[in-house]
Amino acid sequence: MLADHKDAIKKNVQFILSHFCDQGHRFPRAITTLKSKDPVYINNEEEILQHFIESDFKECKINGYPFFGKEERDMDKLSPSLLFIDIDLSLCSVCKYPKRKLDYILNLTLNKIEKETHGIPTVIWTGYSYHICLPVRMLFNPNDKEKHSLEFVTPSKEFIPHVNQDLTTEFIRFAAKYFTTNSHQKDSIQNNNYNSISTKSCFITVPETINTKNSFKAEIVQKWDGKVTNIKTIAPYFLDNIMQRKSEYITKDKK
């Protein structure tokens, strides 16, 4: 039984790692488990499995972004390559049927992603939240062969002083809010803590590992279609967002 479970987890680890095909390299990368608590930086698939086994497959997660380093020049190597959206039952705490409401929010989110980007993301149900994971790149011309960084959209030095994190983190936070916000749903989104998302904390729950809060074994609801999605369509909205924040920062600074 343990061997079968290990094989299943191995396949699911490989499935999650397949989402990072456009990142240049897979390792080093952070993982977390119940035993480790804090992030552990690993260098290969075998190390991931070993840590998961040692934790009895409990609270096993893999970061959606690789680890480059702590220096500013290292962060410049990052570009949006994975959209990560975490919607959980706290959004529906006052609802009579919380899970039904959360499913409704999930469907709205997936429909908006598909309508605006044609993307089909992976969706994982952890027993408390849905993890939505979509590999992305930014191409502005159909003939482009290489993805663009956010520097292509706007020089980061112009905006970094006016945002809280690196531009890639700011972008994935913006995208999470953008795709989950609907006209009748704004209050719910304001209550969701998307500002905690960063390139260092996009931890994806591995399917068939155990959520210790409710002893639920995470399951795949929808599989990524294998196509890296072009997200150029929301780049102008992101630019508008950080330009507004810059303007607000300057106005506040003058007072």
- At residue 159, the pLDDT reads 54
Half-sphere exposure at residue 171, Cβ-oriented, CA atoms within 13 angstroms: 27
Stated pTM of the model: 0.85
- At residue 23, the pLDDT reads 86
3-state secondary structure of 41: strand
Q: Are strands 210-211 and 216-217 parallel, antiparallel or unpaired?
A: antiparallel
Note whether 148 and 140 are within 8 A (CB): yes
- At residue 79, the pLDDT reads 80
List the pLDDT tens digit at each of the 255 positions of the chain: 567 788 999 999 999 999 998 887 889 999 999 999 789 999 999 999 999 999 999 999 999 999 876 544 444 456 889 999 999 998 887 888 899 999 999 999 999 999 999 999 999 999 999 999 999 987 655 555 555 455 444 544 555 555 556 788 888 999 999 999 864 444 444 445 667 788 999 999 999 999 999 999 999 999 999 999 998 889 888 888 877 776 666 566 555
- Dig out the tokens for 239 from the structure: 């630019």
The tally of domains found in the chain comes to 1
How far, in Å, CA of 244 to CA of 255, rounded?
17
Domain residue limits at 173: 2-254
Note whether 57 and 209 are within 8 A (CB): yes
Q: Are strands 219-222 and 229-230 parallel, antiparallel or unpaired?
A: unpaired
- At residue 158, the pLDDT reads 57
How far, in Å, CA of 134 to CA of 21, rounded?
12
- At residue 220, the pLDDT reads 98
- At residue 240, the pLDDT reads 82
